[in-house]
Chains A and B, each alone.
Chain A
Amino acid sequence: MNRIRHLPPGVKDFLFEEARRRRQVERVLTALLEEKGFQEIITPTFEYGDVFLTAGREEELENGLPEKMYRFIDRNGQFLALRHDFTAQIARIAATRLQGLATPIRVFYSGKVFRAEAQHAGRSREKWQVGFEILGDDSLEADTRAICTLLDAFKALSLASVRISLGHIGFFHGILNSAPELSAEARKTIKYLVERKDVAGLKLFGSQVGLAPDLIETLAQIPSLHGDADILSRARAVTRDGAAHRAIEHLQRLWQNISRHPAADSVFIDLSEVEGMGYYTGIMIKAFAAGIGQEVGSGGRYDELVGRFGRSMPAVGFSFDVDFLVEARRNGNRS
């Protein structure tokens, strides 16, 4: 095979206009973040692979994460990996060089992450992300600021038809915690079925492994728990778990805070969204734009991630997918 005239799957060259559009999106986002008091961090393109394995612990347990990492052994026999996740790198830095600074610390980044995605549905293996993190602040205000920042970003990008879904992983975890007897394998299957909103699959699996009928009924309700704040009272009725109720209350207060933002009507609550980085511990955010069949950005709260690197620090963050944003703007989705 001739390997000097074409590219491997999952990577692209961007020429002229396509490059210009990407730089433009990057400039709009980074200018906004600087204006809002975020400072840039430039991280290395590769580092010790253990950093990404530590951040991806849940994925590693579930799927043996390393399969999606671009990893290699350098001349000295060290295990290295290409940047798999910016947040892992920021967490490493937060646990070391950012200790002792006045909090909250607001940072942003722009660059590529490398993930060996399956060759499926045109997935990229190199993704350009611009993202931000608010470190050292576990308050409701930090979550509010994170969401308002991304709403401002979509406005700055002149994207009109955008929807932000807001969930909380504590709701799902709370429901599962009421069934401590579940094996890790069963939890993994249940999470997968909830991610796919596969109600029929949940009921079938539940009866196959002998889950309590009321737990099956609760799980089967999760996929339809989406809408405005009214959905939260319905959610409260499906479970008695304390952690799940705390998650609902948090969302309730967050919803009130956000409602003052001019773009608040693009936000809605979706408690069925449980798919995301395994290190999320609180709110989970996904952004969608008309004409793009997948999320154009995602984020959430991760209060325990930094601690895995030695010193704990609560945090919330979000990252935008530059390629999808460019595509959304091209599709005439401009306000």
Chain B
Amino acid sequence: MTARNDNLDAFIMALAKGKLMPPALDWLARAGFTFTENLSQSRKLMVPAREGELTVLLVKPDDVPIYVEYGIADAGIVGYDVLRESEADVFQPRALDFGQCKMVVAGKPEDDYQAFRFRSLVRVGTKYPRIAREHFQNRGIQADIIALRGSVELSVTAGLADVIVDIVETGTTLKQNGLVVHEELFASSARLIVNKASHKLKLNFVDRLLGVE
């Protein structure tokens, strides 16, 4: 059995280590929760807030929706890109004003992207295989979705893939690798996500988080 989150007076929140952490902590501070240590550098995985009531779980971004869907964490903060890829069955009542980026199809500048629909197969390098598969399926294009863990741009430059599906913030990484955006899929930003049962069982706390500006 897993550790269970069955104390209705305690609230557990999953946060992702990385870029979203500093703005997420600012947001939590506005909700009235602060921490004695610097969580971005902490090696601890479970950290209680100074004010009590709230405990934070520090996990990888991809794992935030998992902890929330299973109800081990009541809520979490995660990028919409990661949330959509996870297909987690959770509530997502708030878009937050940080972590802005775009999901795009990118590739070589010399390629005629519009002509890709005449190809029998398009090879796609990505860290977002579900999003990529759905996108090309909707267009009726047969795609070989190559799931990668990192350095996605390399897949095109090195000749593994024709295009990538990835997030872009400033476009610097694409430029450095000589790639251009062919198509924008959707805009993403951080989301507050809430477990479906926690939303009922700890409604007062959820409402308090939803009230944070």
Cα(A294)–Cα(B90), bound, Å: 10
Give the chain A neighbours of B199 by CB distance below 8 A: 197
B133 nearest CB across to chain A (Å): 14
Bound together, the chains give a CA A199 to CA B192 distance in angstroms of 11
Query: How many chain B residues touch A (Cβ–Cβ < 8 Å)?
Result: 31
Q: Is the Cβ of A120 less than 8 Å from the Cβ of B87? A: yes
How far does the Cβ of A12 sit from chain B's closest Cβ, in whole Å? 14
B4, A291: Cβ atoms closer than 8 Å: yes
Contacts of A226 in B (CB 8 A): 203
Do B201 and A288 touch across chains, with their CB atoms under 8 A apart?
A: yes
Question: Quick check: is A70 within 8 A (CB to CB) of the other chain?
Answer: no
Q: B200 touches which one: A165, A196, A201, A223 (CB < 8 A)?
A: A165
**Per-residue CB proximity of A209-227 to B under 8 Å, as 1/0?**
0000000000000011011
B72: A residues at CB distance < 8 A: 293
B22 within 8 A of A: no
Please give, as numbers and ranges, the residues of chain B lying within 8 Å of A288 by CB-CB distance: 197, 200-201
- Least CB distance, A296 to chain B, in whole angstroms: 8
Contact with B along A149-179 (1 / 0, CB 8 A): 0000000000001010100000000000000
Collect the chain B residues with CB atoms within 8 Å of residue A289's CB.
197
* Residues in chain B near residue A120, CB distance under 8 A: 87, 89
B133-155 vs A, CB cutoff 8 Å, 1 = contact: the mask equals 00000000000000000000000
Q: Which residue of B lies closest to A164 (CB)?
A: B200
- Are A290 and B89 within 8 A (Cβ)? no
A224-B201 contact, Cβ under 8 Å, with A196-B91, A290-B6, A291-B5: no
- Any B CB within 8 A of the CB of A101: no
Q: Are B201's CB and A331's CB within 8 A?
A: no
- Give bound CA distance, A332 to B5, whole Å: 11
Interchain CB contact under 8 A, B196 and A295:
yes
Say yes or no: is A11 at the interface (Cβ < 8 Å to chain B): no
| Contacting pair B91 A294 (CB below 8 A) | no
A230 within 8 A of B: no
B195 at the A/B interface (Cβ < 8 Å)? yes
Write out the residue numbers on chain A whose beta carbons fall within 8 Å of the beta carbon of B70.
121-122, 293
**Is the C-beta of A286 less than 8 angstroms from some C-beta in chain B?**
yes
Given contacts A288-B201, A292-B197, contact A121 B210 (CB under 8 A): no
How many inter-chain contacts with C-beta < 8 Å in the A-B complex?
Answer: 77
State whether B6 touches A121 (Cβ < 8 A).
no
Partner of B198, one of A198, A293, A331: A293
Q: How far is the CA of A227 from the CA of B206 in the complex (A)?
A: 12
Smallest CB–CB gap between A163 and chain B, Å? 5
- Given A161, A268, A294, A330, which contacts B196 in the complex, CB threshold below 8 Å? A294
Q: Of all chain B residues, which has the CB nearest A227?
A: B203
Q: Which residues of A contact B198 (CB under 8 A)?
A: 293
User: Does A333 sit within 8 A of B, measured CB to CB?
Assistant: yes
B59 neighbours in A (Cβ, 8 Å)? none
B93 at the interface (CB under 8 A from A): yes
Decide if A199 touches B94 in the complex (CB within 8 Å): yes
Scoring A161, A292, A330 by chain B CB atoms within 10 A of each residue's CB, the highest score goes to A292
With A120-B87, A286-B200, A295-B196 already in contact, the answer to whether A331 and B4 are too (CB < 8 A) is: yes
Give every chain B residue within 8 A of A293 (Cβ-Cβ). Answer: 5, 69-72, 195-198
Q: Report if B92 contacts A (CB, 8 A).
A: yes
Cα A330 to Cα B66 with chains together (Å): 22
Chain A residues with CB under 8 A of B89: 120-121, 294
> 1/0 per residue B75-97: CB within 8 Å of A?
00000000000011111111100
Task: With both chains docked as a complex, state the minimum distance between the C-beta of B176 and any C-beta of chain A, in angstroms.
Answer: 31
Which B residues form the contact surface with A (CB < 8 A)? 1, 4-8, 66, 69-72, 87-95, 191, 194-201, 203, 210
Ordered by A's residue number, 11 sampled pairs between the chains whose C-beta atoms are within 8 Å are A121-B66, A163-B201, A199-B93, A199-B95, A286-B200, A292-B71, A292-B197, A293-B198, A294-B71, A294-B197, A295-B196
Q: Which 3 A-B pairs have the closest CB atoms?
A: A293-B71, A291-B6, A200-B95
* Additional pairs, 18, CB under 8 Å, beyond known A121-B66, A197-B91: A121-B69, A161-B8, A163-B200, A165-B200, A197-B199, A198-B93, A199-B94, A224-B93, A224-B210, A268-B200, A291-B71, A292-B71, A292-B197, A293-B71, A293-B195, A294-B197, A332-B6, A333-B6
